[in-house]
Structure 1
C-alpha cells in the first residue's frame, strides 16, 4: 500500500529510486572525568581528531570538479576555516584542562555554546549557519568516537538511490553528488538549510523537514520524490509511477531547453526589458553569475567579514575584500551594509548589555550601525574606496523610518568628505538605497523614495515581520505565506512608490527566484529581480514567454478582492497558457 508523506520541497525535480537510509544520526557520547595525569594526552587525542577531520575536508575540497559553482566549494572552505577557529580549538582544550573531562564531552560543550550564539541571531539566513558549527563538531566527534558514518548514494542493486537521513553535511552532499545520488530526503532543515542551498546549486531533487522519514521509509523500497511540491510517495502503484515518469521527462526537457537562453536578453513578449541580477557572497560566484546571464549583483552580504573572530575587520581588510568582489563584477553591484545584531560579538568583546529577549526586533542592522557610528564609518569608508573599481550601490538594511535613512546618509557623506580630504579615490555619485524588509518601511515607501536612490525588497524578513512568524522555527513555519494578501499589498505599494518617485525597485528575497511567483511579480510591476545564479535561466524563460501588459491587467483589482482563495485562483490563472 502506498504511503504519501509531505515535507518542504527545496529543490525542483522528480526522482524515482530506491531508499538508502543513512543511519547513526545521534551519537552515544560517554562522559567521564580524567585523572590529572591524563589531561594532556586527552588534549592530544582531540588535536589528532581535529587534524584528521581537517584532512578529510581538504580531500573533499580537492575532489570538487573544475567549473563547479563557487558557492558549493565555499561551504567546504567555510568548514575548513571554522576548523581553525579558536572558539572551537582553544575552548575545547580549555574545557578538557579546566574541567578534567573527556574530549567528546568538552567538544559538545563548545558546540552547544557556539550554537546558542547563532540561534540568537536575528537574520534568518545567518541563523542557519548554526549548521556549520554542528557539522564541523560532528565530524570531529565521530572521529573521536571511531564512529565515522559512510553514506552511499547507491542502492543494494547498484542504482542511484534516494538518500534518507536526519541531515546531510555539505561534504556528504558533494560526495553523494559525485556518486549521482537520485535525491535527498531529510528529517530536519528548511529552505535556507545547507541541504536546500546545495541541492538547488547541484540540481538534485530534495525534500527537507520530513519528520520521522527514517522510521516511515524502508531501506530498498521504491519512492517518488517531488522536490518542488515537497512530496514523497513510498511504494507507488503503476498509475502513480506512470504519472511521475512523464512529469520527470517533462522536467528534464525543460532543463535542457534553458541552455538556449544563456545569451538572450530578458525581454518579455511585449518588449518590456527585465533586469535579472544575482545574489552572491564570494568573488568566484561572480563568474558563475555572469555565465548564467546575470546583469549585475543585486545583493552582496558583508556579514561574514565580522563573524567567528574577536577583533573587528580593519578598513584595509574590508577594502581589499570589497575591491576584489567589485572588480569581479562587470555590472552594478549592490552591497548591503552590516546586518548583524547586538547579540553577536562584533566589537572585540565589548558587550552591548544582556541578550535581548527577541533579537529580531532588537538592536540590529542599521540600528546597531547608528548606535556604533565608528563601526559603520569604517565599513562605509571601505565601501566607498572600493567604488573606484566598479559600479557600486550601498544598501541600508532594516530601515524602518526616514530619520534612520537620513542619519545613515549623513554619516556616509561625512566619510566621503574624509576620503576627499585625504585624496583617496572613490566614485563621487555612489547611490544609497533602502532595503524594504520592515512593514513600516513599506508603508512609508513614498516618503523614503524621495530620499533613497533605489529600493530593494527583502521578502524573507518582510514576510516574517508582516505575519509575525519565524520561518526557521519548525513549529510555525507553515504560516510563512508569500501569497498572504497583506504581504502582496506591501510589495505592490513599494513598487508603485518607487515608480512614482522615479527610482528603481528590485527584489532580492527568495520570492524573486521562485518561478511560482514570477508572473505574479511581473503583474505587480516588478522589473528588477535578484536571485541565486542557478535560478536566473528559469526566471528568464518565464519572462520571455510572458505578456507583461496582460499580466498587469489581470492583477488590476485582484489584491482588493478580500478573499484569499479568489486571489490564489487569479494568480493561478496568470500561469495558464
Structure 2
C-alpha cells in the first residue's frame, strides 16, 4: 500500500513550468486540484540485521503484520459499499489469496531466520526474487499477478512501518480556492485503498499504470470521478501540492497550468456541471430517438439497496442484478433460499412493477466463495458462472427456487451467464423446470411464464446463435467478457490493457451478429456491459439495431441524451459502413463522426 508523503506547505516555491501528460481516458469529467503523491513504502524501508536472540521476535512481528492485513482485507470486504462494482470484491479476494500463499506468508519468515534480515527487508527480498523470476514461478496465479503481489507487499509494509496511506486533508496554501480538493497521484492504487477514497476529499486519480478496465478505472467510473491512467512517469514528474488538471474525456493531465489554462478548464468544468444539471431534467422524458424509435434503458445493480438510485435516474427496470454479491465472502455460510428470496423480493418490490433481470451466480475461479480455494491455471477459463452452478446443483437449485418465488411479486427475468454449449442451455432449463416442480409440490406461488435468457459473452456463443434463439426468451450481451475472450486479453492486466478495444472489428461483428439474430428470431437483445454506458458508442449500438441498454445508474441520463439526439435514418447507414471496415483508424474516425450526426 502506498505510504502517505504529504506535508504542510510552509515554503513558497518558484513557479514550475507547465507540462502535459497523455494517458488513457477511463472516466469522464474534469478535475482541478492539488496533487497528493502516494509513493511506495518500499522506498523508505530500512535494511539491518537482527541479533540471534531477537530473530523469533522479528518473525512474530512479520506474522502479526500479515494477520493484521488479513483482518483489514476481511473488514474491507464486509464493508464494501453497496454501489461498489462487482470486480472490486474480486480484487480484494485476489489479494487475500496472495497473502495466504506460502511464497508470501512463509518464505520471508525463513529469510529472517536464515539471514537475520529485519522483517521489512526480508519481505522485500522475497518480493524482489519473485518479480525477477516471474516467468519461472510455479504458482501460475502468482505468475500472472505481479502487480497484485507488489500491492499486497505494500499493505504489509504499511503495517510494519506504522504508516497511514491517506491524509484527511492537505494543508493548503493561503487563499487556495480549491483547498479541500485533492488529486491522487500514484504509480498504482490497490483496490483495497480505493475503498478509502470515498469519504475523503479526493476528486480525481492519476496513475502511471493501468488501462480501460484496471481496478482504478472501474472504481473511478463507478464513483463518477475523473481519472487518467497509463501515464507512465506521472508519479515521478508531478510534485506534492502541484496544481493538476485531469481531463478525463481526453486522458490528459496538465501539471502546474498557467493562469489562462486554469481559467479555461474551470469554465469547462462549470459548463459540464451545468450540463449535468440539465440532464437531470430528462429523468421523466421517454428515451425515444428523433425518428420516433423507443429505446429501453435499464440499470445494473448489485443489491436491492441500489434500486432507489436506478429509479432516481429514470431506469425502466433492472437489466442486470449481479446476484453473486449476496454470496461473496460467505463460503461457510452460503445464503439460504429464504435469505436469497427476501433479497430478490425486496428488489422486485422496490422497482414497483418494472422488470428485474436476475443473473444467476457468476462466481468461481477468480471470484471464489472461499478465499482459500485453489485458483485455476487460467481463472477466466476455469470453473465459473454456469459451469460452477451446474457442478453444484443444490446451490443452483436453491437460487433458482428463490428467484422463482420472487417472481410472484413482480416482473422477473432469469439470466444465465457464460453459456457456450447446447447441453449447458438444456441442463440449465431442466434445472429451472425442476425448481418449478419443487415449488408446485409445496404449493408455493411463482410466475410460470418467467422468461429465461442467456448472456452472450463467449465468442462461441455469438457464432452459434441459432441454438440460443431457439431455446431462450431473450439475450443479453456481456461486452466486458466478450471483448476479453475475443481478443484473448485479461481485462484487468495493465500490461496488455492497451490491447483491450471495444471497436476491434471482430468485436463489432460479434455484437452486430447477436443483435441481428435476436431480431430475426423475434426476441429481445440487450447489452449490459461497459459499452452500454459509453456515450461515445451509443449511436453505434443504435445503428446496429440495439434497443435495450443496461448500465450503471450514473450513466443512464447521459446515454438517454445521446438517444434523444440520434436519428436512425442517418445513423444506420453510417453504422453499416463501420461494420464493413477493418482498419482501426478508419473505424475510430467513423465512430467519432457518428457523434456529430
Whether the 8 Å contact between 1:75 and 1:170 is mirrored in structure 2 is no
Tell me the residue number matched to 1:386. 406
Tell me the residue number matched to 2:363. 340
d(CA) in 2 for partners of 1:542, 1:559: 21
Per-residue displacement from partner, 1:159-218 (whole Å, max 9, x unpaired)? 234331244567866776666444221234444455434433444321133333211212
Tell me the residue number matched to 2:481. 461
Tell me the residue number matched to 2:227. 206
- Residue 280 (1) aligns with residue 313 (2): no
Report the CA distance shift for 1:322/1:190 in structure 2 as closer, same or farther (over 3 A): farther
Aligned 1:288-327 pairs, distance under 5 A: 288-311=309-332, 313-316=334-337, 317-327=339-349
Computed over aligned residues only, the root mean square deviation of the Cα atoms, in angstroms, reads 4.6
d(CA) in 2 for partners of 1:221, 1:534: 30
Q: Quote the offset at 1:386 in angstroms.
A: 2.6
Aligned 1:49-448 pairs, distance under 5 A: 70-71=82-83, 120=141, 142-151=158-167, 152-153=169-170, 155-157=172-174, 158=176, 159=179, 160-168=181-189, 180-193=201-214, 195-236=216-257, 240-241=261-262, 244-311=265-332, 313-316=334-337, 317-330=339-352, 331-342=354-365, 346=369, 355-356=376-377, 358-448=378-468
Whether the 8 Å contact between 1:95 and 1:106 is mirrored in structure 2 is no
d(CA) in 2 for partners of 1:345, 1:11: 29
Whether the 8 Å contact between 1:482 and 1:511 is mirrored in structure 2 is yes
d(CA) in 1 for partners of 2:547, 2:54: 67
3-state secondary structure, aligned to 1:255? helix
Tell me the residue number matched to 1:506. 526
d(CA) in 1 for partners of 2:555, 2:355: 19
- Residue 10 (1) aligns with residue 26 (2): yes
Whether the 8 Å contact between 1:315 and 1:378 is mirrored in structure 2 is yes
Q: Quote the offset at 1:134 in angstroms.
A: 9.0
Whether the 8 Å contact between 1:53 and 1:140 is mirrored in structure 2 is no
Whether the 8 Å contact between 2:98 and 2:152 is mirrored in structure 1 is no
d(CA) in 2 for partners of 1:203, 1:362: 32
When the two structures are superposed, what TM-score results if normalisation uses the length of structure 1?
A: 0.80
3-state secondary structure, aligned to 1:334? strand
d(CA) in 2 for partners of 1:74, 1:144: 30
Q: Quote the offset at 1:423 in angstroms.
A: 1.9
Whether the 8 Å contact between 1:394 and 1:433 is mirrored in structure 2 is yes
Tell me the residue number matched to 1:124. none
User: Structure 1: 5+ residue runs without aligned partners?
Assistant: 122-126
Whether the 8 Å contact between 2:475 and 2:523 is mirrored in structure 1 is yes
Greater displacement, 400-409 / 182-191: 182-191
Aligned 1:479-558 pairs, distance under 5 A: 479-558=499-578
Per-residue displacement from partner, 1:277-315 (whole Å, max 9, x unpaired)? 111112221111111111111111122344334436154
Per-residue displacement from partner, 1:41-93 (whole Å, max 9, x unpaired)? 969966996799699989xx8xx9xxxx941699999999999x99989x9xx
Report the CA distance shift for 1:87/1:538 in structure 2 as closer, same or farther (over 3 A): same
Q: Quote the offset at 1:405 in angstroms.
A: 1.0
